[in-house]
Structure 1
Amino acid sequence: MKTYDVIIVGGGAAGFFAAINCAEQNPSLSIAIIERGKEGLQKVRISGGGRCNVTHAEFIPSELVLNYPRGEKELLGPFHQFMTGDTITWFEQRGVELKIEEDGRMFPVSNSSQTIIDCFLGEAEKYKIDILYNYSLKSIVHKEQEWILETSQGVLETQKVMLATGSNPKIWKLLEHLGHTITKPVPSLFTFDIKDERIKDIPGVVALDTSIKVVDSDLYSEGPLLITHVGMSAPAILKLSAFGAVELAERHYNFQIEVNFVKTTLVNCIEVLKLLKQGLAKKTVFKSAQFDMPKRLWQKLVLASHLNKDTRWADLKKAQLEDLAAQLTQAVFQVTGKSTFKDEFTTAGGINLKEVNFKTFESKLYENLYFAGEILNIDAVTGGFNFQNAWSGAYIASCAIAASGE
């Protein structure tokens, strides 16, 4: 039986981050990371299209927490302890410089997730942390002052254990046996499947400033909207999918959305169109895209308003003008399903947050059992926020583990 002072289950971002900080703060600890796969850090590798979206350039805790549909209240305290600026400093101290893009996402200057992976592996080697691959956790038992972990490669024993396994149903099942409550997981961060003539054959078109709401719901979001081969995506849609993860699952991903492509009211839009009718009288509506709308999308909405390609602005009837305004500000689309956003799969669900002490990320049910990352019922919108949750939780838990091991 192998024995360690600390065992971290999960060779992902949170696991490595916690192990490295633990070793740095208390070098006397023997630490092991156990990973069920043949290699770790796979979510780091694919994040941000292979560039690794490390965090987001939001430096005010009360603003940062607004990006977490689940965990907003619980993360406020932790973000005052370890925040975006701390993440930037942590990586810079280890030779990894980060950059901020226009939308606030932060990536390594190298534009490669391998930079982050190499950093973690190098630090783990520096602190002599054992990384045990192909170690799948089968059971976890608390016996007196020790934790006994049965794995596919044998039994391990430790005083302190941290679980950073992400959205892993098998691990959640083990925790249920220990008495923890698991909130049923449902998908988050997904795109909408929509079949509609108004968006057919125009994939890649982006409406930069939209507002979207789910019909018969309080769910609402704003931002860019991307038309895809199968429906709609981009931040406005992904935000809706994250904040509406539970409700949309209950609807079996069959619901309607109302899209305002021009971010103004129906009444205001009608008034603007009336002015355009006078100012562009001899021009055709079809070829005169307005409101900074992409030309191909404008033309689709014009045709959906019962106009033909030759209709001039001067010939617009009142009903046609009102119909066009409705298409621009109140276009209803039927969603018939969901698709995974790129290769990144995020779930809402996990350990009930009431059972965790967020000053240490320790279980309230057991001493020396810690958690970090998406194993908890915490998730965020896209843009580096899920990683920031992982860094903050892993750092705070590692501080508690290292201090109690002295």
Structure 2
Amino acid sequence: MNFPLARFAHHSWVFSEAATTSKSNGRLFPTLRKRKLTSTAIPRAQNKSSEELLVVVGAGAAGVYGAIRAKTLAPNLTVVVVEKARPLAKVKVSGGGRCNVTNGHCVDTMMLAENYPRGHRELKGAFFNTHGPVDTMTWFSDHGVELKTEDDGRVFPVSNSSSTIVDCLMSESTRLGVSLQTGKAVVTASPTDGQKFLLGIEKRTPSAVEYIEADYLLIASGNGKQGYSLASQLGHSIVDPVPSLFTFKIEDSKLADLSGITFPKVKAKLKIENVQRNIPQLTQVGPVLVTHWGFSGPAILRLSAWGACVLSTSGYKGTLILDFTPDVHIDDVKSILTQHKNKFAKQKVANSYPTEFGLVKRFWKYILSRQGLLGDILWASISKDSLFSVAHMLKHCDFCVKGKSQYKDEFVTAGGVPLSEISLNTMESRIQSRLFFAGEVLNVDGITGGFNFQNAWSGGYIAGTSIGKQAVGA
């Protein structure tokens, strides 16, 4: 399938089609040479092929899944996925290399939508009803991938290897005839008079640019600037992107000595200066991990997701308040400490502490140090006020957040194309027909636990279905 090209201006150069079209390495686009700009009129390219072309920007989860779905419904549709880096790179590193495919505990649409700080209102409609977690799990199972659901709801391949998911998607793409082109980026996009898209595709060197007309365009480029730029060129607005799913840096030198300690259940609350409105989700309950720079773990990551936008305006500064005994009332904490004091009066406070709290010795000493109770102090010497201060510290331990740290390689971004500018029933733009979006390029982001991938699978599937049906005239 060749794409005859006339001459096109790009900055100070005009590109014209070479005598032949390269067919090596499965390349679909023509090889171009450059020459100096002239004043000659520059007509638009004409795609004279009887087949229609879908160009997918981005070979991530949403892009590849959408390409597969479109090609499945419309076998005669030419589908090309353009990716400047490695395909499915985030899938490969996600879940510590295991790939958290989705969440198996949130199958109800209303409950599922509540896990998306940006999108929780809009996604309560038909989005997940069209293709939800059960549909995702069924799709992978039908394509030979055995899955398992862990206690917290996260779904992984039984192989515990993300390569199983990557190989499945790549194999299905190859089987269907989806063309994957890497080392290229779609850098310009504009609608043509014939309801097509004129796309400028850049190779590794900026001087090598190809132009092509596509009948359909699916932008699924994740949180990179590329997708935002293309969306803007095609008339869409962009909600300024800010990081989501990050860990907290804490101003406390003594905390670094506790690195590696995990608390199975902590109630974490985030207070941000100059934020007047109440945000209920800025209180989370779950596991918390002490790192050498501060705090991480599911409860912290959920806080970061819900607080992403307001934290960005505060310079990622605030106060983190942790309750290390969330299931024990403050009066009961005081009572337990009092009973322990009476029973172990002659023992050192640093060496003896209530087991009911489930704390490790290193952290107990940290709590004591913040109250000035370290050394050879005996339980008998602890005053009632000091005892109650320790109880308050366990229930209301505050830390000064001084910044954020990226969460491994699984960073997520809040912001992107507003959901109001697309139809969630089809993922088609409300501004430009035959233009579709899916995945993180949209202003949607989920908390940790498989929700961001589910957004990608759902959006890609819906977009692919819409494109496939249009291509076959359904």
The alignment's TM-score, normalised by the length of structure 1, stands at 0.96
Q: Is the partner of 1:176 in helix, strand or coil?
A: helix
1:269 shift after superposition: 2.3
CA distance in 2, matches of 1:148, 1:60: 41
Name 2:334's counterpart in structure 1: 270
Name 1:206's counterpart in structure 2: 262
Per-residue CA deviations over 1:358-381 (Å, capped at 9, x if unaligned) read: 111111101111110000000011
1:298 shift after superposition: 1.5
Quick check: 1:90 aligned with 2:90? no
Per-residue CA deviations over 1:193-229 (Å, capped at 9, x if unaligned) read: 1131552311100111111112256421111110001
Name 1:308's counterpart in structure 2: 374
Name 2:307's counterpart in structure 1: 244
Give 4+ residue runs of structure 1 displaced > 6 Å after superposition.
Answer: none
Whether the aligned pair in 1 keeps the contact of 2:77 and 2:471 (CA below 8 Å) is yes
1:265 shift after superposition: 4.2
> What is the identity, as a one-letter code, of the residue corresponding to 1:396?
I
**Please, which moves more after superposition, 331-340 or 265-274?**
265-274
Which of 191, 199, 203 aligns to 1:142? It is 191
Q: Is the partner of 1:72 in helix, strand or coil?
A: coil
CA distance in 2, matches of 1:115, 1:345: 22
Quick check: 1:257 aligned with 2:307? no
Quick check: 1:30 aligned with 2:75? no
Which of 210, 213, 226 aligns to 1:154? It is 210
**Please, which moves more after superposition, 75-84 or 263-272?**
263-272
RMSD between superposed Cα atoms in Å: 1.6
Whether the aligned pair in 2 keeps the contact of 1:207 and 1:294 (CA below 8 Å) is no
Per-residue CA deviations over 1:304-357 (Å, capped at 9, x if unaligned) read: 222124333332202211211121011111111111001122111100111010
Which of 131, 134, 150 aligns to 1:101? It is 150
Whether the aligned pair in 1 keeps the contact of 2:99 and 2:161 (CA below 8 Å) is yes
Name 2:99's counterpart in structure 1: 52
CA distance in 1, matches of 2:323, 2:387: 16
CA distance in 1, matches of 2:93, 2:454: 16
> What is the identity, as a one-letter code, of the residue corresponding to 1:358?
L
Q: Is the partner of 1:270 in helix, strand or coil?
A: helix
Q: Is the partner of 2:257 in helix, strand or coil?
A: coil
1:280 shift after superposition: 3.3
CA distance in 2, matches of 1:89, 1:199: 44
**Please, which moves more after superposition, 183-192 or 61-70?**
61-70
Name 2:292's counterpart in structure 1: 229
Whether the aligned pair in 1 keeps the contact of 2:324 and 2:395 (CA below 8 Å) is yes
Structure 1, unmatched stretches of 5+, are none
CA distance in 1, matches of 2:119, 2:183: 31
Which of 112, 119, 123 aligns to 1:75? It is 123
CA distance in 2, matches of 1:255, 1:148: 47
**Please, which moves more after superposition, 295-304 or 358-367?**
295-304
CA distance in 1, matches of 2:352, 2:427: 57
Whether the aligned pair in 2 keeps the contact of 1:191 and 1:233 (CA below 8 Å) is yes
Which of 289, 295, 298 aligns to 2:353? It is 289
Could you tell me the percent identity over the aligned residues? 40
Report how many residues are paired: 405
Distance 1:49 1:159, change over 3 A: same
Name 1:169's counterpart in structure 2: 225
Name 2:87's counterpart in structure 1: 40
Structure 2, unmatched stretches of 5+, are 4-28, 30-46, 203-208
CA distance in 1, matches of 2:358, 2:144: 43
Whether the aligned pair in 2 keeps the contact of 1:373 and 1:393 (CA below 8 Å) is yes
Name 2:32's counterpart in structure 1: none
1:260 shift after superposition: 0.9
Q: Which has the larger radius of gyration?
A: 2
Name 1:327's counterpart in structure 2: 393
Q: Is the partner of 1:201 in helix, strand or coil?
A: helix
Quick check: 1:344 aligned with 2:410? yes
Which of 461, 465, 468 aligns to 1:395? It is 461
Which of 123, 127, 139 aligns to 2:176? It is 127
Q: Is the partner of 1:91 in helix, strand or coil?
A: helix
Name 1:356's counterpart in structure 2: 422
1:272 shift after superposition: 2.8
Quick check: 1:179 aligned with 2:243? no
1:281 shift after superposition: 3.0
Quick check: 1:14 aligned with 2:45? no
CA distance in 1, matches of 2:311, 2:406: 14
1:301 shift after superposition: 0.5
CA distance in 1, matches of 2:89, 2:370: 44
Name 1:5's counterpart in structure 2: 53
> What is the identity, as a one-letter code, of the residue corresponding to 1:84?
P
Q: Is the partner of 2:463 in helix, strand or coil?
A: helix
Name 1:111's counterpart in structure 2: 160
Whether the aligned pair in 1 keeps the contact of 2:340 and 2:353 (CA below 8 Å) is no
CA distance in 1, matches of 2:256, 2:157: 37
Whether the aligned pair in 1 keeps the contact of 2:145 and 2:157 (CA below 8 Å) is yes
Q: Is the partner of 2:431 in helix, strand or coil?
A: coil
Quick check: 1:318 aligned with 2:367? no
Q: Is the partner of 1:378 in helix, strand or coil?
A: coil
> What is the identity, as a one-letter code, of the residue corresponding to 1:148?
L
Whether the aligned pair in 2 keeps the contact of 1:193 and 1:338 (CA below 8 Å) is yes
CA distance in 2, matches of 1:383, 1:366: 34
Higher relative contact order (CA 8 A, sep 6+): 1
CA distance in 2, matches of 1:198, 1:60: 44
Per-residue CA deviations over 1:169-195 (Å, capped at 9, x if unaligned) read: 232123223221100000111111113
> What is the identity, as a one-letter code, of the residue corresponding to 1:262?
T
